[in-house]
Amino acid sequence: MTGEKGDTVTDLLGAYISVWNERNPQTRQTISDEVFTPDAYYVDPNTSAQGRSAIDTYVAGWQEQFPDFVFVLGEVRSHHDVAHFGWSFGPTGGPPAASGGDVVVIERGRISKIYGFFD
């Protein structure tokens, strides 16, 4: 998607990916505060989490389990405050070990719902 709104959505999703990649808890919290609504809801095949703190706990667990892996944002498509995007996950500088796609709902410029899918 192109255009100002599309660029804004892509920027928001880039910041969302940064949440998953940021290892410093305080910096990650700052990014999360900008990315998520306070009561944001996250769900994927492994878990569901309600609120920024619960999402952060889940992200920290992934980072602990995969300390050298990073997420990379893929193609973004959006309309009407909903976006779908692809992602890949793997060792820094290496080939992806996993991939998937998420659907997010955006409210007032922040993510309120995330539905994650693994390939």
Q: What is the pLDDT of residue 5?
A: 53
Q: What is the mean pLDDT of the chain?
A: 94
Q: What are phi and psi for residue 81, nearest 5 degrees? A: 65, 25
**Which domains does the chain carry?**
4-118 (3.10.450.50)
- Give pTM, 2 decimals: 0.92
pLDDT in tens, 4-41: 455 799 999 999 999 999 999 999 999 999 999 999 99
DSSP letter for each residue of 62-103: HHHHSTTEEEEEEEEEEETTEEEEEEEEEETTS--SEEEEEE
Percent of the chain with pLDDT strictly greater than 70: 95
pLDDT in tens, 37-57: 999 999 999 999 999 999 999
